[in-house]
A and B are shown apart, each in its own frame.
Chain A
């Protein structure tokens, strides 16, 4: 059974204070690891897909990295508008749907 654990559950940062969110996973035959951003009351917004260990992707202040056991979402010099819940999900070799973690609720204070 595929499993995803995200930490911390919640994180409060000052504007400009860089940090990282963690996503640990166990999966049989990783087909992809996905990061989403979700604002309150809205559907998740796709951010990144990572397919293999060592892969990195960047978008504005966000950078996602992948190892064989975990992924990190690094946020550099965050702004208040980066406040959201960040979701990590995996798709294993035997699955068609995604297995999601519970998310990290990120708050950036001005």
Chain B
């Protein structure tokens, strides 16, 4: 089955710790994205990557970092510099955000991060 997987489903972190959220896709999509969802707010874009070894900041990148060493994987690190990290984190992918006519983004099941 093709799809997007995120792990872990739930993550607890102490203040001052960095944590890494995993996102893997086997859809052969070029582009991958990270969004953050807070209660009562729309999803907000953190980082995105259109190609391996390249990524761009989204609207709320401060306190986060990413890497894209493989086409299938786009891990997100929430650093201690992120002031309000408790949220639901969603990873998505699309065929090609630039040239493809298929702009739909498909989402993983999400990771709920709680800072204790």
Which residues of chain A in 33-79 are interfacial with respect to chain B, using CB atoms and an 8 Å cutoff? 34, 36, 41-46, 49
Q: Name A34's contact: one of B40, B104, B109 (CB within 8 Å).
A: B104
Query: Are A43 and B90 in contact, with the CB atoms below 8 A?
Result: yes
> For chain B, which range describes its interface: under 10, 10 to 19, 20 to 34, or 35 or more residues?
20 to 34
Q: A35: shortest Cβ distance to chain B, in Å? A: 10
Complex-state Cα separation, A46 to B107, whole angstroms: 8
A-B residue pair count with CB separations less than 8 angstroms: 59
Residue numbers in B under 8 Å from A101 (CB-CB): 42
For residue B108, CB closer than 8 A to chain A, the reply is yes
The count of residues in chain A whose C-beta lies closer than 8 Å to any C-beta of chain B is 23
B52 touches A (CB below 8 Å): no
Please tell me which stretch of B43-51, B64-72, B73-81 contacts chain A, meaning at least 4 of its Cβ atoms lie within 8 angstroms of it. Answer: B43-51
A96 touches B50 (CB 8 A): yes
